[in-house]
Amino acid sequence: MKKGKRNSSKGLFAKGSASRKITFGILAVILVVAYLSSNSFRDEVDELLGIGDTPKESIVVPRAQGDLLVHFIDVGQGDSILIQFPGGENMLIDAGDNDKGQIVVDYLQGQGVQRIDHLVGTHPHADHIGGLDDVIKEFDIGDVYMPKVSHTSKTYMDVLEAVDEKGLTINAASAGMSIPSKEANIDILAPDSELESKNLNDYSIVIRLVYGETKFLFQGDAEKKTEEELLLSGANVKADVLKLGHHGSSTSNIEEYIKAVDPDYAVAPLGEDNKYGHPHKEVVELLDNMGIVFYRTDKDGTVIVVSDGENISVNP
């Protein structure tokens, strides 16, 4: 009976027209290609052959004595920046959205971080502070900096609750303050302590970090208004590496400001195919015209910048 069924099935295709044979052949090829193309199958083969890509989260960049590392962690459409100082100090600026907290925790642990000496929440938007409560609960925390602006969101309240449970105090960050460090100069350039705005992005903490001869500028979602005020104030915004404002949006990153910063490298934390269209075309063209090397986490993954105090290199 089994043999008869097999012959009957075989005969169905064998006795059909030539077009049926071709159609079946094409269908079989499509199914095989689809199977071979599936992520799970590729991963299995890669693992067996030992040729799979190592996730960026597990990569520890070799560092020489005296190297400072700045990790622009890929958390999708959000910011999270880990700064590792050569003497063991650690600083974290933002921690991505609510669902990215564990990703940030895992990344930090993968880099050997046990204590965060300086924790910064640039402003109350969820894509910047959403994961801070997870980070605060998991690590020993030194000082905490956030702008002096409140918010009614559950995300913001979760951060405050985590701070309270750890017995920490939030330093209200404003222009003119410095974050104490034995290894670098860390100055807060914005926001203004007297600022009153309905736009939470205007409260973004802007930080300029100087390590040796190398300089970094981190500006959260600070927009055109903040950039213009910094230029008018005469603040020193010169930097070798610029974390673009507001994920590379044209609401930030005005030409006069970028020229004043005059960076060699610019980085934008982004979500792939994000609904905002970040980075905006105008900003990308400006960077290109100025010869600034542009990295974006949606295409490059986590970007790691290494400084020995004189020279800068970027991984990838």
Per-residue pLDDT at 53: 37
Per-residue pLDDT at 64: 86
Arithmetic mean of pLDDT, 3-9:
35
pLDDT at 303 over 60: yes
Same domain, 62 and 38: no
Same domain, 155 and 300: yes
Same domain, 250 and 178: yes
Per-residue pLDDT at 59: 73
pTM of the prediction?
0.82
Arithmetic mean of pLDDT, 41-68:
56
For residue 71, give the CATH number of its domain: 3.60.15.10
Q: Which residue has the higher pLDDT, 299 or 44?
A: 299
pLDDT at 255 over 50: yes
Q: How confident is the model at residue 57 (pLDDT cuts 50, 70, 90)?
A: low
| Helix (H/G/I), strand (E/B), else coil: 238 | coil
Structural domain containing residue 205: 56-315
Arithmetic mean of pLDDT, 40-62:
46
Same domain, 227 and 153: yes
Q: Is the separation of the CB atoms in 81 and 94 below 8 Å? A: yes
Same domain, 249 and 224: yes
Average pLDDT, the chain: 86
Q: Which residues contact 296 (CB under 8 A, 6 or more apart)?
A: 248, 267, 268, 269, 270, 279
Same domain, 155 and 19: no
DSSP state of 100: G
Q: What percent of the chain has pLDDT over 90?
A: 77
Q: How confident is the model at residue 263 (pLDDT cuts 50, 70, 90)?
A: very high
Same domain, 224 and 271: yes
Same domain, 276 and 302: yes
pLDDT at 28 over 50: no
Q: How crowded is residue 142: how many other Cβ atoms within 10 Å of its Cβ?
A: 16
- Per-residue pLDDT reduced to its tens digit, 91-137: 999 999 999 999 999 999 999 999 999 999 999 999 999 999 999 99
Same domain, 6 and 101: no
pLDDT at 167 over 50: yes
Q: What's the domain count of the chain?
A: 2
- Per-residue pLDDT reduced to its tens digit, 192-248: 999 999 999 999 999 999 999 999 999 999 999 999 999 999 999 999 999 999 999
- The percent of the chain in helix, strand and coil, each rounded to the nearest 5, is 40, 20, 40
Q: Of the candidates 209, 211, 205, 168, which has an alpha carbon nearest to the alpha carbon of residue 189?
A: 205
pLDDT at 58 over 80: no
Same domain, 93 and 187: yes
Same domain, 6 and 78: no
What distance in Å separates the CA atoms of residue 158 and residue 150, rounded to the nearest whole number?
A: 13
Same domain, 225 and 304: yes
